[in-house]
Chains A and B, each alone.
Chain A
Amino acid sequence: MDQSALKEYFQIAIRNLRTRSLRSWLTILGIVIGVFLIVSLLSLSEGIKETITKQLKSMGGEMIFIMPGSEASPLTMMMGGDKLEKQDMAAIKKAQGVDKVLGMSYAGSVMRYKEESKNAFLAGISWKESLDVLEKYQGWSLAEGRWPLPGKKEAVIGQQVANQIFSQKLRANTEITIKGRKFEIVGVLNSLGSKTDDSFAYIDMDIYQSLTGEKPGSAQVAMVKIEEGASLNQVAENIKTSLKETRKRRIGTDEADFAVITSEKMSDIAGGVLGVIQFAVVAFASIAIIVGGIGIMNSMFTSVRERTREIGVMKAIGAKNSAVLSIFLFEAGIIGFAGGIGGTILGAIAAKAVELYGQAHPVFYFSASVSPGLVAFGLLFSFAVGCLSGFFPARRASLLKPVEALRRYE
């Protein structure tokens, strides 16, 4: 290709696009939509992935989680459902290799401070049994104040509750109302590493259960710290077996409707689910871009037909095939690239808007991750689609014989 003249051909291409600007913009719009979908959805799902990974990390390494629902469908775990009964908790505790079992229950709850009522999470934790595990293995620490005493209406709150949710900052030794009862905030936690975890107020399990009507001794989820030197997977198996036996004795079925998951497996599951989501996102958005590409091809073929004579003239006055090819390829490539820029900008804006919405509604924390790689991908992909879909029309134009091109429309 004659490189020296590429700049000129590029300018001519721009000129040609400008003269049919409405058509050019409409064609560009087709690409914008596809790239918009890719950038916005991928950056959101990437953000969710990061948030979840961070949260899993904050849960600590060598732990086993027991949650209601089935392992096969992670969504039921998140939704909750059945609770771990007192017997179940006992079954977990007696499984071989289990050092400590921490039961925890939680629910969304309205909290009132002075005249303000806000939504946050409320969790029950048995301070007596859990505190040292939380401190040693989960990295819990206090930014100020002290830990609540078992059996007292005292709470520690996460960073979000302390600093973000209420218009005033909450400090230790203030009083808030939770579910109509007065609690004293005795401490503020350092950040636990995820916004969701930081949006909790943690109170004593017994008080939580009397407040919510949950049966004493049961829990929604349980975390297990294994004995020193035991194998994580083996202990998980032991817990499963033990739980099954108990359940069989109690309600006559050994179907597992609890999921026993190691921290490793949890990140695998989360990663797998998000992988599928991202794959679907890319697949659908690619279809949108391909449709946009067909739009480019259509528009370029029309343009070649309309400008047949022009092509003939260019060839008569000395244009090589490659010159004509370059001009038409540039036109298609520019359409694709412009669509890519538009789509990327709109996609990034949309992703950030969703993120802001999420921050304003604390139940819905995640960040959008518009990575440079994603931006580069969006731009390159759309440029490539433009060039690819412009190739056949451009080739047709470049191979026109001058005499035929000139004769056309005479």
Chain B
Amino acid sequence: MELILKLENVWKIYQMGKLELAALKNVSLEIPPGDFVAVMGPSGSGKSTLLNMLGCLDFPTRGKIFLKNKDISSLSQDQLSQLRGRTIGFIFQEFNLLPNLNALENVMLPMIFQKVPFLERDKKAREILNSVGLGSRMLHQQAELSGGERQRVAIARAFANDPELVIADEPTGNLDSKTGKMIMELIRDFQQKKGKTVIVVTHDPEVASYSKKIINIKDGEIAINHQPSWTSQP
């Protein structure tokens, strides 16, 4: 089976003046399709660094990252951007919508970067927005949307190119628990109904409980827990 993502002895070392700080120490990890993985760890544990590696937003200092069996260090920035845009959808804690575009345009943006023709991307963006329950709010600007609505737009944007992997960084961190639950259910539906892969970074056990597998990270080293201590899903 083709792995979506594979980390092979990955090190990330930051140079802080004369000090070297290893944010990731020899991390190896395989993510097969259909997985739902939670990454947990205290702040300063290297969680963000790991997320950047998993999202192919950064290159490791040592070791290799394979996105769909492709060594990303062999790709140019542009090639990597294209591959990332096609393969990975991002959901951020702060939503990160483009403030000057309305909901529909935000969802169309990843498709523009993949050169999807206008009619097709317009249709698809409308469908996805409908499916996250924003059919009536499509032409609203970010400022006119609530936090939950913004995050649903962000989810729709992450789904736009039909990616195989969605990476969510604290997706419920800025939302109340009820809205957070709705967001997590949208993400889970995507994973279950479409057989896609989800990696969610969180410190919230509620959120982690959606996952099948938990990666605990501490001091730059990971431990994989296949059986979450909390088994029941809310």
Q: Which of B48, B52, B82, B96 contacts A318 (CB 8 A)?
A: B82
A402 interface residue (CB < 8 Å to B) = yes
For B58, the chain A residues whose CB sits under 8 A away are 401-403
Query: Interface readout for B76-111 with A: 1 if CB under 8 Å, 0 if not?
Result: 011001101110011010001011110000000110
B57 interface residue (CB < 8 Å to A) = yes
For A321, the chain B residues whose CB sits under 8 A away are 77-78, 81
A12 interface residue (CB < 8 Å to B) = yes
Q: In the bound complex, do residue A5 and residue B82 qualify as a contact, i.e. CB atoms below 8 Å apart?
A: no
For A319, the chain B residues whose CB sits under 8 A away are 81, 85, 113
A72 to chain B, nearest CB (A): 62
Chain A residue with Cβ nearest B55: A316
Whether A19 touches B99, Cβ cut-off 8 Å, given contacts A314-B109, A317-B85, is yes
> In chain A, residues 1-32, which have Cβ atoms closer than 8 Å to a Cβ of chain B?
2, 4-5, 8, 12, 15-16, 18-19
Q: In the bound complex, do residue A5 and residue B115 qualify as a contact, i.e. CB atoms below 8 Å apart?
A: yes
Question: Bound complex: CA of A350 vs CA of B204, how far in Å?
Answer: 67
A397 to chain B, nearest CB (A): 13
Interface size on A, residues (CB 8 A): 27
B61 interface residue (CB < 8 Å to A) = no
A322 interface residue (CB < 8 Å to B) = yes
Whether A316 touches B84, Cβ cut-off 8 Å, given contacts A15-B101, A321-B78, is yes
A320 interface residue (CB < 8 Å to B) = yes
Q: Which of A5, A313, A315, A401 contacts B112 (CB 8 A)?
A: A5
Chain B residue with Cβ nearest A316: B90
B6 interface residue (CB < 8 Å to A) = no
Question: Bound complex: CA of A287 vs CA of B93, how far in Å?
Answer: 47
Q: In the bound complex, do residue A317 and residue B113 qualify as a contact, i.e. CB atoms below 8 Å apart?
A: yes
Q: In the bound complex, do residue B101 and residue A318 qualify as a contact, i.e. CB atoms below 8 Å apart?
A: no
Interface residues on B, range: 20 to 34
For A309, the chain B residues whose CB sits under 8 A away are 96
A50 to chain B, nearest CB (A): 48
For A315, the chain B residues whose CB sits under 8 A away are 81
A338 interface residue (CB < 8 Å to B) = no
A310 interface residue (CB < 8 Å to B) = yes
B114 interface residue (CB < 8 Å to A) = yes
Q: Which of B84, B100, B158 contacts A12 (CB 8 A)?
A: B100
Question: Bound complex: CA of A19 vs CA of B102, how far in Å?
Answer: 12
For B48, the chain A residues whose CB sits under 8 A away are 407
Q: In the bound complex, do residue A8 and residue B78 qualify as a contact, i.e. CB atoms below 8 Å apart?
A: no
Q: In the bound complex, do residue B110 and residue A317 qualify as a contact, i.e. CB atoms below 8 Å apart?
A: yes
Question: Bound complex: CA of A5 vs CA of B112, how far in Å?
Answer: 7
For A5, the chain B residues whose CB sits under 8 A away are 112-113, 115
Whether A320 touches B100, Cβ cut-off 8 Å, given contacts A314-B109, A401-B58, is no
Chain B residue with Cβ nearest A20: B100
For B161, the chain A residues whose CB sits under 8 A away are 318
For A18, the chain B residues whose CB sits under 8 A away are 100
Q: In the bound complex, do residue B98 and residue A310 qualify as a contact, i.e. CB atoms below 8 Å apart?
A: yes
Q: In the bound complex, do residue B98 and residue A313 qualify as a contact, i.e. CB atoms below 8 Å apart?
A: yes
> In chain B, residues 111-146, which have Cβ atoms closer than 8 Å to a Cβ of chain A?
112-115
For A370, the chain B residues whose CB sits under 8 A away are none
A406 interface residue (CB < 8 Å to B) = yes
A309 to chain B, nearest CB (A): 7
A300 to chain B, nearest CB (A): 15
For B82, the chain A residues whose CB sits under 8 A away are 318, 320
13 A–B pairs (Cβ distance < 8 Å), ordered by A: A4-B115, A5-B112, A18-B100, A313-B90, A314-B113, A316-B57, A316-B90, A317-B85, A317-B113, A319-B85, A402-B58, A402-B81, A407-B48
Besides A5-B112, A12-B100, A318-B82, 20 more A-B contacts (Cβ < 8 Å) are: A2-B115, A8-B112, A15-B101, A19-B100, A313-B96, A313-B98, A314-B109, A315-B81, A316-B57, A317-B84, A317-B158, A318-B81, A318-B84, A318-B86, A318-B113, A320-B78, A321-B78, A403-B52, A406-B92, A407-B48
Q: Which chain A residues have a beta carbon within 8 Å of chain B's beta carbons?
A: 2, 4-5, 8, 12, 15-16, 18-19, 309-310, 313-323, 401-403, 406-407
6 pairs of A and B residues whose beta carbons are closest in the complex: A318-B85, A318-B113, A403-B58, A403-B57, A320-B78, A317-B110
